[in-house]
Each structure stands twice: as C-alpha cells, then as structure tokens.
Amino acid sequence: MIFETNGAHIVDTLIMLAELVCFEQKCGARFPITEPIYNCPSCGVLLEVRFINGRLDPQQWKKTWRERRTSNSMLDQSGVWRYRELLPFDNHYDSVTSLREGNTPLLNAPRAAEYGGLDHLTFKHQGFNPTGSFKDNGMTCGVAQAARLGRKRVACVSTGNTSASMAAYSSAAGLDPIVFIPHGEIAYGKLAQALEYGARTLQVQANFDEILALVRLLADRLGIYLLNSINPFRIEGQKTSIVEMMDQRDWNPPDWIVLPGGNLGNTSAFGKALRELRDFGFIQKMPRLAVIQAEGSAPFYEYMQTRGEFRSTPNPRTLATAIRIGDPVSWPKALNEITVTNGVVEKVSEQEIADAKAVIGRCGIGCEPASAATLAGIRKLTNAGVMRAHDDVIAVLTGNVLKDPDYIYRYHTGQLKDPEGKLIQARYGNQPVTVPNDVDTITRMLEE
C-alpha cells in the first residue's frame, strides 16, 4: 500500500501487480508485464493482462472513483486513468499521456428504442472522446506502455479510427507515429485526422488483414511498437469504458450491452472488464454481450453459426469502414467473452445500417456508420424474440458523426450505394431543398 495525494483527499492506493499470460489455457505461458510482445512465443496465441495479487474493496473504490470526478488532477480527469487501480501500471504513471479521454455520456434515445422494438434504450457514446472514437480509451494505455518501454516509433494498421487516435496520442507523447492504411478504403474524415496529428501515413495497396501481416514483420525488423488491438494494453484501456458505464449506472448492470464487431478488440475488452468487475465484487450479474457485424464483413457471425473452423472473409465489403475487417485477430478472445456472458452475434445489411443511422440521427445523436450497426442489430434481435421489449439495453456508439460525412450526405440525397453498386433506399432521408430568394415563396412552402 502507498498513499496518494488527490487534491484535498488522501486515498489508500493498492498496487495491483500484473503479468502477461497466454490466452490459450492449454499453454498458459506467463511473461513480465514489460515484455514487448503481443502473441505467445510458444503457441502464437494472443496474450492477456492478468493481475497476480491484490484485492479491491468495492465500496472503498466506488467512493474513491466517484470523488475523483471533482479533482483537477490530470489522471483523475481522465475517464480511463480515474480507474487506474484496474490498469497494469503498478502505480507508475510517469509515462501517461492523457487528452481527457473517456467521460463519455449515457444518452436516452426514445425514437431509437421504438425503432428497435424496445421500451427504453440508452446509448453509451464513445464518439465524445477527444479524437471522436472509442479508440482513445485504449490508445492512452497503449502509448503509455510504449513510453514505459522506451520505444520512440509506434505504428498501427487502420481503417480510420485507430490511425486518428494513435496519431494524436503518440504525437502528444513525443513519439513518432506511423500509420498504414488500405489505399482508397478510409473515410476522409478519419484520414484527415491522421494527417493533421502528424502521423507518417502510408497507403498500402492491400486490405486491412494483409497490411497487418506486413506491419508485424516491419515492427519486428525495425523495433516499432505496434498499437493495434493485438496489443494487450489497448484492451486494458478499452475495458474502462465498461467500468465507467457501471459507475454511471451506480453499479447496476443492464441486461444487454450491444456493440459493433470488426477486429473484436472491444468485445474482448468489454468481456474482460465484466469478468474482473464480477470477480472483484463490483457487480453481481453479467450483462449479455451482443456483437453486430456487417453482412459483407461477418466472419465471426459465420463462425458462431457453425462452430467449425474459423474462416476469414478474404475480401470484406461494407460501407461501415470501421468494421470492414475480414480476419479479426481477437476472435478467440471474443469467443470466450460471448460464451462467458451468454451473448449472441448477429449480422445486418447495408440498408439496415443506413436506416438505423438515420434514426439515431433523429434522436439528436450522431454517429458513424459502424456505430449504427448496434441499433440495426437490436431491431433484428427483438424481432427474433432474442431480446424482449422490457429488457434494459445499452448500445455502444463507437464513433462521432463527422467521421464519415460523405456517407451522410449521399444517404439523405438518395445517392448512397452499397459495395455491390446497388442503391440504398433513403427511407429516412432528409434532402435539402433549393428555394428562391423570395419571402412569400418560402412562407408558402413552410406553411404547407
């Protein structure tokens, strides 16, 4: 135990020691937390951070975490580092760079609830993060680990949000960020962020999965620290969005937490957070996870239907670029979390995503296309009887509405086409109207 001064408060801070552990139970290899690896050298399976000692008093830490909201400390103002007792940094925070990430709201959405077949629906909007997506929760921890290890160059492969987040946090930390993106397959709103935040940006003529394999070779050869979701510290940061969600709900878990599924890092993080909160005694029941994928990029959904061999989607197709991933590296972890939470996996069409996104917008809540997969999935799950109208449901919106403004304009003006070139119907379109500069004409139009 050590004591930490927190404004006018002095709180007893427990140091939770941690290690990296192979996620494959049959292997179970263990490594120091400062080992710069992502996969088990023995069997190749992804690693997970696990605490090896310590015990949290739920009542004490619920109170402390709530009190930190009023602190002016940089760590306390972060919606990630406020819950630092659940992060594997052994009370060493000199390497932390924060942009006041987290602190994202829970928003009620009656219109979306009705559309989804629910009595009530709440959105956890991660698009309120500094760079406009949930990636910031994980990136602050990933960049802190890079600095802790003394790495100067960091890299990621991205369809958009990861590149924006990594560029911002790495530049703020004084590191050299390198972004690899699929050529021509990134929303310009996201690409603009990576460029603005100073990342060296390489557009590779390949898809996400092919580029990730390439970058892993480059990272090993050049000593670059990789900050994709295969990095276990990214997962540690992303799990705090669930801790914050439970804190915002006074530690009363919902029945369901619904989220989009791409590389499945969030699924891994959310399930891990729920397991830890249950095991430490913070919550008494486990919400069910519902992961929603786009039809043209749904390898995890297809696997869950057959439970045979996991097969990637060689050429993933969806306008929801944030989840356009055909070979999600975190699927074994995601499978575990779906199993532990008795969760489900669903897929939705491009039309369903576009309509759901427009409905969310009519709630006064904007989001990127991938986020809207949640509401589209809820609608399918309630129609199928998997969800009930009175269920307590939180849907996670992963990105800001301005991540892909071109998508919005094309939908509302009836010009949006799916990856096959088929026109998506603007069922909830809101097309701008051209009018003359004449007060009488405009008056008649508005009265009609």
Determine the Cα angle at 358 with ends 408 and 130, to 5°.
65
Which pLDDT score, from 0 to 100, does residue 14 have? 64
Which pLDDT score, from 0 to 100, does residue 309 have? 92
pLDDT in tens, 109-141: 999 999 999 999 999 999 999 999 999 999 999
What percentage of the chain exceeds 70 in pLDDT? 96
Higher-confidence position of 222 and 92 = 222
Q: Taking residues 393-406, what's their average pLDDT?
A: 95
Which pLDDT score, from 0 to 100, does residue 1 have? 31
For residues 239 and 272, the answer to whether their CB atoms sit within 8 Å is yes
What percentage of the chain exceeds 90 in pLDDT? 86
Encoded amino acid at 386, one letter: V
Rounded to two decimals, the pTM is 0.93
Q: Which two tokens stand for residue 325?
A: 């991933």
pLDDT band at 159 (very low <50, low <70, confident <90, very high): confident
Give whole-number Cα distances, 269 to 220, 232, 242, 291, 442, in Å.
Answer: 25, 9, 9, 13, 52
pLDDT of 9 strictly over 60 = no
pLDDT in tens, 165-181: 999 999 999 999 999 98
255: nearest Cα among 107, 389, 103: 389
pLDDT of 202 strictly over 60 = yes
Which pLDDT score, from 0 to 100, does residue 160 have? 80
pLDDT band at 13 (very low <50, low <70, confident <90, very high): low
Q: Taking residues 379-390, what's their average pLDDT?
A: 98
- The beta-carbon contacts of 88-92 under 8 Å, at least 24 apart in sequence, are 88/16, 88/18, 88/33, 88/49, 88/51, 88/233, 88/236, 89/144, 89/148, 90/15, 90/16, 90/17, 90/18, 90/33, 91/2, 91/13, 91/15, 92/148
Which pLDDT score, from 0 to 100, does residue 359 have? 98
What are residue 47's DSSP bridge partners? 22
**39 three-state secondary structure:** strand
| Least confident window among 15-29, 267-281, 398-412, 415-429 | 15-29
Q: Taking residues 256-272, what's their average pLDDT?
A: 97
**34 three-state secondary structure:** coil
pLDDT of 8 strictly over 70 = no
pLDDT of 312 strictly over 60 = yes
Q: Taking residues 91-108, what's their average pLDDT?
A: 95
Which pLDDT score, from 0 to 100, does residue 56 have? 85
pLDDT of 280 strictly over 50 = yes
For residues 109 and 363, the answer to whether their CB atoms sit within 8 Å is yes
Please provide the distance, in angstroms rounded to a whole number, between the alpha carbons at the two ends of the chain: 71
Which pLDDT score, from 0 to 100, does residue 293 have? 98
Average pLDDT in the chain: 93
Domains identified in the chain and CATH numbers = 106-131+234-412 (3.40.50.1100)
Q: Which two tokens stand for residue 354?
A: 């576009």
